[in-house]
Amino acid sequence: MTKQDHINFWIEQANDDWTAVETLFNGRKYLQSLFFAHLVIEKLCKSLWIKHNQENVPPRTHNLIHLLSTTPIELTDDRSEFILSLSRFQLEGRYPDYLTKMHNICNEQFTTSMLNSTNLLKLWLQEKLQ
């Protein structure tokens, strides 16, 4: 596979996961939709990592800030803070002791706001891939 094939793989996976975000949200599975929203951003970050690094296989990490820190992509403070907020759903959504707390936070209004912000970040990252 070429470098562009590797990049395209991660972009396609992110697009598929965004469909899952919408399906889960429409099914009122708010926590799960935010978990997948993180996956979307993670996969776009991995595609950017490949674009700006020699290797075609990104690090096996879920840490979005770390992935982007090894690229020339510069994050504003607001984007960094949002990414840290979104990252809670990657970790806390996996463990039983957090699930009840997270389900209480992830109501429709909160999730709508988070997904709107995620979509803006997604579009910005996609622009960086052009």
HEC sequence for 3-28: HHHHHHHHHHHHHHHHHHHHHHHHCC
Can you tell me the mean pLDDT for 33-54? Answer: 97
> Per-residue pLDDT tens for 60-103?
999 999 999 999 999 999 999 999 999 988 865 567 777 778 88
Give the mean pLDDT of the chain.
94
* HSE value, Cβ hemisphere, 13 Å, CA-based, for 26: 6
Superfamily of domain 3-128: Nucleotidyltransferases  domain 2 (1.20.120.330)
Domain ranges for the chain: 3-128
**98, 92 contact by CB (below 8 A):** yes
Q: How far is CA 124 from CA 32, 72, 104, 129, 130, in A?
A: 23, 14, 30, 9, 10
Please state the pTM of the whole predicted model. 0.94
Q: Mind listing the pLDDT tens digit for each residue in 44-72?
A: 999 999 999 999 999 999 999 999 999 99
pLDDT of residue 93: 53
Which pLDDT value is given to residue 90? 86
